[in-house]
Structure 1
Amino acid sequence: MIDNFADKAADWDSPQKIKMTEKYVTELLKLVTLHKNQKALELGAGTGLVGFKLLPKLNSVVFVDTSAAMLEILKRKIKPDDKVELLHGDVLLYTKNDIDLVVSNMAFHHIINIKDVLKHLYKITSDHAKIVISDLVSEDGSFHNFEEVPHKGFETEDLSAQFEDAGFKNIKSYVYSTLKREKSDGKMHYYDQFILLAEK
């Protein structure tokens, strides 16, 4: 498995990434109430920025990522009393059906087989589980400097329909943040981020 983030992991926890995480977590907590008996799974966990913010309010967190380099950085953050699991690879490798909350921040556009992943998330989640993801609204590809990624953001209606097809209900989404970046053309580019909530 090629690690596309091997050269990015060491510098991943930048002030910008941390600020983006804080915005996502703040919005997430408006949508769901966390409990100390819950087990969460962070999909595309990277260095665990989201999961570690939520962990004090939960029982445990499963961190899933395809990048070994990212997970190595994550491992350094684990304290002796933290109840965490690390899974290197595809979320399809997780087969227990005990997840009460799935979170994912800016990772879905890297998923090739979204239909299969959503069906699998339905299988591994408990009754009344919730999924809260954040990602980009459809953009022109410039966010990744026109590098190949599986999705240049999403039309939220289309993505919501895929969640519904997988069995989820009470789906809602809205734009909650805008990222601003200066690109190589010297111009400022703006990218809307949406948050999507779905329930099992």
Structure 2
Amino acid sequence: MTERRDFDTAAQTWDEKPQRVRLGREVAAAMAAALPLSREWDAMDFGCGTGLVTLNLSPLLGSMLGVDSSEKMVEQFNAKAAELGCSTVRAVRLDLEQGELPGGRYHLITCSMTMHHIPDIVPLLASLRSLLHPGGHVAITDLEAEDGSFHGDPVGVFHNGFEQEQFEQMLRQAGFTDISISTVTEIAKDGQVYPVFLATAITP
């Protein structure tokens, strides 16, 4: 499967599913519990979507930049941030897979439920590492390995989740150290339960 998913079409109604909103809160809480977050930190959220994780984490950080390849997701994000009066967050449309990198360096890069939409994981992880200060953190959540039933529509799904050991190895290949991976929440869908892991790591 090489076709990409059209997230622009989904952006306007993305937040209408309570499960997605709940997952954003739970992921942000798990990241906050696992990391020594600081208001001195500048952070980036890769695959930010409408900001469900970003806007929950932003009060604990100095600033946060959302990055997404979907223009409509970015528009929804910035509209929500403006409505909430969040002056320390903003989103921009960039496609990191195509080498479109933001300026500056970050103390933390987060990513939630995005990696299974990325064909080549290790080069993308290496790009993220290049954007971190030495000693900077990455925090990534995604589905644990599943049978392909999670997505009713497989368009744009390049991985049916990941084994924790598999994802740890990809982080190591990308140059990260101090890797920790554990299950932090789950998604109940159509009578099945899909575990979600959080991976944290540091760039040397």
What's the TM-score, normalizing by structure 2? 0.88
Alignment correspondent of 2:87: 82
Q: Work out the CA distance in 2 between the residues paired with 1:164 and 1:114.
A: 12
Higher mean displacement: 81-90 or 104-113: 81-90
% same residue = 29
Q: Mapping of 1:91-106 within 5 angstroms?
A: 91=96, 92-106=99-113
CA contact (8 A) 1:171 1:199 kept: yes
Gap runs ≥5 in structure 2: none
CA contact (8 A) 1:3 1:68 kept: no
Q: Work out the CA distance in 2 between the residues paired with 1:135 and 1:172.
A: 14
2:158 to 150, 154, 158: 150
- Change over 3 Å in CA distance of 1:168–1:82 after alignment to 2: same
Q: Work out the CA distance in 1 between the residues paired with 2:153 and 2:78.
A: 31
Q: Work out the CA distance in 2 between the residues paired with 1:114 and 1:86.
A: 22
Alignment correspondent of 1:185: none
Give the CA deviation at 1:85.
4.1
Give the CA deviation at 1:83.
2.7
Give the CA deviation at 1:95.
4.7
Aligned-pair Cα RMSD in Å: 1.8
Amino acid in structure 1 at the alignment position of 2:114: A
Q: Work out the CA distance in 1 between the residues paired with 2:122 and 2:77.
A: 28
The answer to whether 1:42 aligns with 2:50 is no
Q: Deviations over 1:90-141 (max 9, x none)?
A: 2231253511101111111111221111111111100111111110011111
Q: Work out the CA distance in 2 between the residues paired with 1:95 and 1:115.
A: 19
The answer to whether 1:123 aligns with 2:130 is yes
Q: Work out the CA distance in 2 between the residues paired with 1:159 and 1:2.
A: 22
Q: How many residues align?
A: 195
CA contact (8 A) 2:70 2:93 kept: yes
- Change over 3 Å in CA distance of 1:89–1:2 after alignment to 2: farther
Give the CA deviation at 1:54.
1.4
Q: Work out the CA distance in 1 between the residues paired with 2:105 and 2:133.
A: 5
Q: Work out the CA distance in 1 between the residues paired with 2:44 and 2:121.
A: 16
Alignment correspondent of 2:33: 30
Give the CA deviation at 1:6.
2.3
What's the TM-score, normalizing by structure 1? 0.90
Gap runs ≥5 in structure 1: 183-187
Q: Mapping of 1:150-189 within 5 angstroms?
A: 150-182=158-190, 188-189=191-192
Q: Work out the CA distance in 2 between the residues paired with 1:193 and 1:35.
A: 25
